[in-house]
Amino acid sequence: MAGELSHLDEHGAARMVDISAKEPTERVATAEALVHMQPGTIRLVLQGGIPKGDVIAVARVAGIMAAKRTHDLIPLCHPLPITAATLEFEAPDDHTLRITAQVRTTGRTGVEMEALTAASVAALTVYDMCKAVEKGIRIESIRLLEKRGGKSGDWTAAGSPQPPPR
C-alpha cells in the first residue's frame, strides 16, 4: 500500500522486505557526492600531487568495493549480484570534485543504496587521502540522481545534472 514503510512489520519492528515473489529485471541507479576543497587542493588531486598517492584511482576502487559490500553496511539491504559499478570524477569548478557512481544489476530489488554508498565512500576516501593537505574539506549533496527498472519504474531527480553515458 502506498505510503506505508516497507521495512516495518505490522507491529512496527524492523524487517527485511521479502522480494522473493518479484521477477528479476535490469536495475540501474546513479548517485552523486560533491566534495568541496580549496582550489590548490583540487589542483593537487587532479594532477596526482597528493602525498598519499592517486586520489581518484583509490577513491574509484573504494567506491566499487563499497557498492559490492552495501549489504554489510546498511542493515536491511539485500545482498545483490552487482553486474557493473562505475565511478566518474569531474571538477565543474575550481573548488568542487563531483563524484558520480552508477551501479547495475539484474535482480529483484534496486541498486539505489549501492550507488549512494559507492558515491559516499568514494567521497570519504578523497577526504582521507587529502586531509593532510587540507582539513576543511566538505562532503555535501550526496543524492540519488536517477534510478531505472523495477515495479516502480524510472525516476530522475528534479534539476539533476545529466548522468554519465550508459
- For residue range 67-83, what is the model confidence (pLDDT) as tens digits? 999 999 998 899 999 99
Q: Which CATH architecture has domain 25-149?
A: 2-Layer Sandwich (3.30)
Cβ distance 41 to 133 under 8 Å? yes
What is this structure's pTM? 0.89
* pLDDT for the residue 160: 67
The residue with cell 573504494 is 62
* pLDDT for the residue 6: 74
Instruction: Give me the mean pLDDT over the 111-130 stretch.
Output: 98
Per domain, the residue ranges of the chain are 25-149
Enter the C-alpha cell of residue 123: 567521497
> pLDDT exceeding 70 applies to what percent of the chain?
93
Give the residue numbers annotated as catalytic, written as ranges: 128
List Cβ neighbours of 4 (8 Å cut-off, separation of 6 or more): none
Please give the single-letter amino acid code of residue 141.
S
Instruction: Give me the mean pLDDT over the 77-101 stretch.
Output: 96
Cβ distance 163 to 30 under 8 Å? yes
Residue 23: pLDDT band (50, 70, 90) is confident
Cα angle 60-56-41, degrees, rounded to a multiple of 5: 145
